[in-house]
Amino acid sequence: MAGKTVSALLCAGAALLGLAVGGARAAERVTLQLKWVPQAQFAGYYVAQAKGYYKEAGLDVTIKPGGPDVAPPQVIAGGGADVVVDWMPSALASREKGVPLVNIAQPFKKSGLMLTCRADTGIKTPADLKGRTLGVWYAGNEYPFLAWMAKLGLKTDGSPGGVTVLKQGFNVDPLIQRQADCVSTMSYNEYWQVIDAGFKPEQLVVFRYEDQGVAALEDGLYALEPKLKDKAFVARLAKFVAASEKGWAYAAAHPDEAAEIVLENDASGAQTEKHQKRMMREIAKLLDTSGGRLDPADYDRTVAILLAGGTDQPVITRKPEGAWTHAVTAAEGQ
């Protein structure tokens, strides 16, 4: 009898172990491709992972860093990710070219894009940009700028009466070295590089794209349209978005801790504690507070800006159809 009891206990223990192992195996995998290298711009995802929010949701999330040679649309098109972080201009351009990206959530409500000018150039208003040399990021980031110049009636092809465009690297050297009167900056990153280079705020004139009415949506989450026809996949992404938003909320409320978590994920060691903590505080000002749900009005504004880009090769040539969905943020009680 005792032998049967021991045997039963062993079987029960084995069954419980099997359930535990099975539960571990049941974790659903999600691969996220970032737009850039590990920094506070992506703190919400790193925090969600570090705090166990993804694990609590039954997810096994892999976060892949980006960089200058990484194009998120190409990564997801090649099967290297389930979801990517990208700016809407880039995503819509990719969609028109055949990569069926769909915005499933929009963690960032506001744009951090700015044009930062030296005050000693005499530039005080947008009208003063005429005839100036302006640093602009390309690879899809130039379209809000082109839309702004079109709105101002300023040519960007080097013709008289317009502006001279300098293709800017991801630094602020052209401004510091007087190669450009103004350069592109993000409110949470490059602007502070200018400050750290020795400039005081009063020595700079800053034009925020939000204030100029030409701000496009940045840092949204995108998935491939065909995969969104799978209800199980949508449910998995809903868990991912909900856990990510929880991570963003924690990061905004605990910026210093969030910055430390980001630094732990910076394998290059290039980031500094001071810069990441400052970046996180600035990022918090741009975040959405409605669970990442895309505001259709923001989408329509972005599309209108891109269609009015004032270039012979516009980012999009027609209004997109099916480029966003609330299916993911509406699932799982979001």
Mean pLDDT of 310-332: 83
Mean pLDDT of 218-240: 97
Q: What stretches of 51-128 show up as alpha helix (H) in DSSP?
A: 53-56, 72-77, 88-96
What percent of the chain is predicted at pLDDT more than 70? 90
Q: Which domains does the chain have, with CATH numbers?
A: 28-110+217-333 (3.40.190.10), 113-212 (3.40.190.10)
Mean pLDDT of 110-123: 96
pLDDT for the residue numbered 316: 84
Whole-angstrom Cα distance, residue 84 to residue 62?
12
Amino acid residing at 90: S
Average per-residue pLDDT in the chain? 90
Which CB contacts under 8 angstroms, 24+ apart, belong to 189-193?
Answer: 189/39, 189/41, 189/112, 189/279, 190/116, 191/114, 191/116, 192/275, 192/278, 192/279
pLDDT for the residue numbered 310: 56
Token pair 């810069």: residue: 275
* pLDDT band at residue 333 using 50, 70 and 90 as cut-offs: low
pLDDT above 50 for 9: no
* pLDDT band at residue 146 using 50, 70 and 90 as cut-offs: confident
Supply the pTM of this predicted model: 0.88
- CA angle centred on 213, ends 298 and 248, rounded to 5°: 45
Within 8 A by CB and 6+ apart from 189, the residues are: 39, 41, 112, 279
pLDDT for the residue numbered 312: 54
N residues, the chain: 334
Between 92 and 146, residue with greater pLDDT: 92
pLDDT above 70 for 1: no
Whole-angstrom Cα distance, residue 237 to residue 331?
9
Between 201 and 306, residue with greater pLDDT: 201
